Amino acid sequence: MNPEHALTHSDILLLKRWNTPTIYNGWEQITKHDRTREGINLEETRDFMPQMGPMVGYAVTVIIEPSNPVHLQRAKALSDYRRYVASVPGPKIVVVQDLDKPRVIGSFWGEVNANTHRALGCVGTITDGAVRDLDEMINAGFKALARRLCVGHAHVIPVRWNCEVEVFGQKIQPGQLIHADKHGFLAMPKEDEARLLEASRFMDTNECNTVIPAACGAAGKPVDQVLAEMDAAGAAFREAAAKQFSRKGEW
């Protein structure tokens, strides 16, 4: 385990077994942050590899501006940026802020960069810009949440890295744990990391023990009985959540 983080690699693998909304359900029980504004994407994202399922990793951050050719004069920028990425323990998710948005014209990502970052321990990217070489990225096993697809790379070069970035309306710091899938992403506040797995597992089990059976077992029963069982299941769900976290949860 990286001493900077509270989770082991095994914990990360377990978190991948649930979708991002399920992880959110656990997170909202333990956080003191505003769960309507913090951590989550506030603008629409698009998952270009939903068949790959969720990705989980720690944020490495970079800012790009493909429309501006002046950045190409920084000859060592790409090499220095790669050294930064390589220095951070994985698994990693590359969070890219594109200064050209919303009129993005060039992609940081394609077949070469996907394979390069995979070799450096990265599992995917969240970029508010574009991606290209989609089939080749999938073949590399490199997942992408992005704004759209594009054809070219324009004048793409790392401008700044290892800094705060803002993507899809949310600010992300280097080193934040991120869980992301086709629904969007959740960037975990550092202090919530340690209890995330426990809380997510508990709330998923709580649903499976209460409100989901009440809904799925309704066939053939009178409506009044179904409604009564749903009310009872909701009460049981809230009681279990309150006993565990002193919060009642969504039901």
pTM above 0.85, yes or no: yes
- Which residues in the chain show pLDDT less than 70? 1-4, 251
What's the token pair of residue 154?
A: 């324009």
Using DSSP's 3-state secondary structure scheme, residue 143 falls into strand
Question: Looking at residue 3, what is its pLDDT?
Answer: 54
Tell which residue, 148, 140, 151, 197, has the closest CA to residue 44: 148
Question: Looking at residue 49, what is its pLDDT?
Answer: 96
Q: For domain 9-192, give the fold.
A: Glucose Oxidase; domain 1 (3.50.30)
Question: Looking at residue 2, what is its pLDDT?
Answer: 54
Query: Cα(111)–Cα(147) distance, rounded to whole angstroms?
Result: 18
122 DSSP 8-state letter = E
Question: Looking at residue 1, what is its pLDDT?
Answer: 46
What's the token pair of residue 92?
A: 């990693």
Question: Looking at residue 68, what is its pLDDT?
Answer: 95
Domain spans of the chain, in order of start: 9-192, 210-245
Task: With residue 28 as reference, give the H or E element that holds it.
Answer: helix 20-30
Question: Looking at residue 208, what is its pLDDT?
Answer: 96
Backbone angles phi, psi at 9, to 5 degrees: -65, -35
